Structure formats: C-alpha cells, structure tokens
Structure 1
Amino acid sequence: MSAGFLLDARLAADTRPIARLDLCEARLMDDARFAWLVLVPQRAGLVEIADLTPSERTLLWHEVDRAGAALQATVPCDKLNLGSLGNIVRQLHVHVVARREGDAAWPGPVWGSGAAVPYGQDDREALAQRLREALQSAR
C-alpha cells in the first residue's frame, strides 16, 4: 500500500476485503445476488487507469485476469463482466462480476439493478475463503 492511500468510504461500506494481491486489494461486493469482486489498486490519488505507471497497468490487468479465473473456478458463470466506471466512486477500482443467464439483472448490467442483498456472515466467509484459494492458484 502506498503512503497516503485511503479506501473510499463507499467501497469500504459495500465490500469486504478477501485478499491482498501485488497491486490491488481484492474485495467481495456484499451482494449475494452476484459473485462480484472489486479490485482496488493500493495507490493514493488514482482516478483513471491511465494514472497508473505502464508496469502497474500491466499488473492491474494480470490481477483482473486472476480475479476472473478465481470467480470462474469458484461459482457458476456464463460470462464475466468487467468495469471501471468511476461515476459514483471516483477512486480507481475495477469490478469483476461472474454473471449467470437468468441472474437478478440478466441480461442488463448489475450496476443500479435493484437493492443489494447482503450475504449472511457464514456464506460470505465461505465464499471469501474459496475465492482466496482460487486467487492463490490463479497466479
């Protein structure tokens, strides 16, 4: 983590930390309707992907690939959705969402689709552990 890094309050409220990668912290979105990771580069002041150095951009996409592979290995998944919107939370973060045909937002985007359904603590911890293990093996 770089000096001065502070996680945006909305990301902190909506997600739970599950793993520290080389550049990013992988966080689980607390919405049981979707298996959804949020990768947050641990650098102060980032808003756009272009704010990263070239080597950090390469590392970010490697970690996005790892997160996608971990989701595919852990949960049923027909399609991965990736996004770095920043319209509500300006701090640079990348969404990696495992989608299933017929899920609560299918075929539309998950963003703004109904109210989140928080995980029960046991279910969240079980999924987080499976994702941690899959992230380790997806190096």
Structure 2
Amino acid sequence: MILHPQLENDCFVIGRFPLCALLLLNDSQYPWFILVPQREGITEIHQLTEVDQQQLMRESCQLAAAIESEFNADKINVAALGNMVPQLHIHHIVRYKTDPAWPAPVWGKFPAVPYDTDAVAEVAAKLEGLQSFVRMEPLRT
C-alpha cells in the first residue's frame, strides 16, 4: 500500500493492524496517531466493504482506548477530514487541558515540533501491548 506523499512526509509508520497502518504524526506537542486502511483508492469510510468498516471501527476503538490510558488523556479527538489528503485516514489525537491549543482544534494552531529519534521509539513502545498490533520500525528517523 502506498501512502499519500503528505502522510509519507509528515509521519512515521510505527505499526500495523490487520486493516490499517498506524502512523505517528511528527509533532511532539500532541501524541497524534493516524490509522490508514490498507485499501487502494478509498477516500471515505462508506467506500470500504462492510467487513472492513467493522474492522476499522474495532481498530479505531482499540487505539483510542490504548492511547487514552497510556498517555493519560483528558480527551481523545478522532476525525476523518481528508480535505488536504484524500487517502482515507483517521486521526486520533491525545488532548490535554494543558496542551497549547486547548480547547480549540489542533489543526493550524502552531507549527509542528518534530520528535527526536528516541522520542519516536518511546511513543511507539507505549503501544506494543495492543492486541492485534504488529510493531514495525519507523520509516525514517
């Protein structure tokens, strides 16, 4: 499966579920994960088969529960916009009442603050216990 160039540029691939690749957005201000269903030509959830829709929901809920717990989130923002990147992808953003954008949406508020290599590994390690999750090395460091 080929990632949209914007996702390729802005994210690390840190794992894979049965349906989705799991990406970490390279912005250390927020633990920000993205699920990308590994299906060609899909831009909307309703375009997935019913089986894939159900699998996407399972993976999304499993990820949301894990990041809520592992990162002690005040709130989890889940969104599928696709206005700039048409490839179907679902954002899962850990929010804190103390984060720089709270309570507003995070998009476009502040320039990204990139992770260093060790920090990417630390974030990925927090998710290794996810059921059905296969760990992968980041694409780039």
Aligned residues: 133
RMSD of aligned Cα (Å): 1.4
Q: Following TM superposition, by how much is the alpha carbon of 1:23 offset from its aligned partner in structure 2, in angstroms? A: 0.5
Partners of 1:52 and 1:35 in 2: CA distance: 27
Instruction: Say which of 80, 83, 87 aligns to 2:79.
Output: 83
Q: Following TM superposition, by how much is the alpha carbon of 1:14 offset from its aligned partner in structure 2, in angstroms? A: 0.8
Instruction: Say which of 33, 37, 44 aligns to 1:37.
Output: 33
What residue in structure 1 maps to residue 58 of structure 2? 62
1:107 correspondence with 2:103: yes
TM-score (norm 2): 0.89
Relative contact order, CA 8 A, sep 6+: which one is greater? Answer: 2
TM-score (norm 1): 0.91
Partners of 1:120 and 1:87 in 2: CA distance: 28
SS in 2 for 1:44: coil
Instruction: Say which of 14, 30, 36 aligns to 1:18.
Output: 14
Unmatched 5+ residue regions in structure 1? none
How high is the sequence identity, in percent, across the aligned residues? 41
Partners of 1:43 and 1:81 in 2: CA distance: 24
What residue in structure 2 maps to residue 27 of structure 1? 23
In the superposition, relative to structure 1, how do residues 40 and 115 fare at CA in structure 2: closer, same or farther (>3 Å)?
same
Partners of 2:63 and 2:12 in 1: CA distance: 15
What residue in structure 2 maps to residue 119 of structure 1? 115
Structure 2 contact 18–132 (Cα < 8 Å) conserved: no
| Between 32-41 and 108-117, the greater mean CA deviation after superposition | 108-117
What residue in structure 2 maps to residue 97 of structure 1? 93
Paired AA for residue 107 in structure 1: P
Partners of 1:31 and 1:136 in 2: CA distance: 25
Structure 2 contact 17–132 (Cα < 8 Å) conserved: no
Unmatched 5+ residue regions in structure 2? 134-141
1:55-82 residue CA offsets vs partner (Å, 9 max, x unmatched): 1111101110111112122212000100
Paired AA for residue 136 in structure 1: Q
